[in-house]
Amino acid sequence: MKKTTLVAIALSAFIAFSTTQAQETKEKKPAHESGSGHSHFTKIPATVEDIWKEIHKQLGKLAGVVADKELGEAHDHAFAVRDLVKALPEKVPAEKKSDAEAGAKEITKLAADIDKSGAAGAQKATEANVKKLGKAISALQAKLKADGIKK
C-alpha cells in the first residue's frame, strides 16, 4: 500500500473513533448537574414529615463538613437540602403552597451561595451561609407547620 493510503485509513479510523467517543460521553452525562461538574440526585421521601427529617439530616452533615473545613463537600449537602425543600410545595396544603415556593426560592439561592463560598475556600463566608440556611429552614418549617401539614 502506498503511504498516502495508509495515512488516509489511519485518519479515517481516528475520526470514526473520536466521533464515537464524543457521542458516548455526551450520552452518559447526567440530566441534573451543578456547575461544578458533580451530579446531584436526591431521593425525595414520600411524606412531608420524612422530607423534614431528611432536610435536618442533610443540614447536620453540611454543618459537619464545614466545621471540618471540608468545603469541597458542602455543596453536596446544600444541594440535597435545596432539592428536598423544592419537593415541599407539591406536598403541603394548597394554602401553604406559596409559602413553600417562596421558601424554596430563598433556600435555592442560599445553597448556591454555599456552593460559591465553599468552592472559593472561604471558610467564614461558608459558615455564615450555612447559618443563614439553617435560619431559613427553621423559618420555613415554622410557617408550614402553623396550620398543620399533609403527610
What pLDDT, in 10s, does the model give residues 58-96?
A: 999 999 999 999 999 999 999 999 999 999 999 999 999
Q: Find out whether 42 and 30 touch, Cβ atoms under 8 Å.
A: no
* pTM, entire model: 0.72
Output the nine-digit C-alpha cell for 110.
442560599
Give the pLDDT confidence score for residue 4 in this predicted structure: 74
Which segments in the chain show pLDDT lower than 70? 1-2, 6-8, 10-14, 16-40, 146-151
Q: Distance between CA 122 and CA 8 in Å, rounded?
A: 53
- Residue 28 to residue 130: CA distance in whole angstroms: 32
In eight-state DSSP terms, residue 43 is: P
Sequence-ordered alpha helix ranges (H) in the chain: 3-28, 48-67, 74-86, 97-119, 123-145
Q: Where does 48-145 sit in CATH, by number?
A: 1.20.120.290
Where on the phi/psi map is residue 45: left (φ > 0), alpha (ψ -120 to 50), or beta? beta
Cell of 11: 485518519
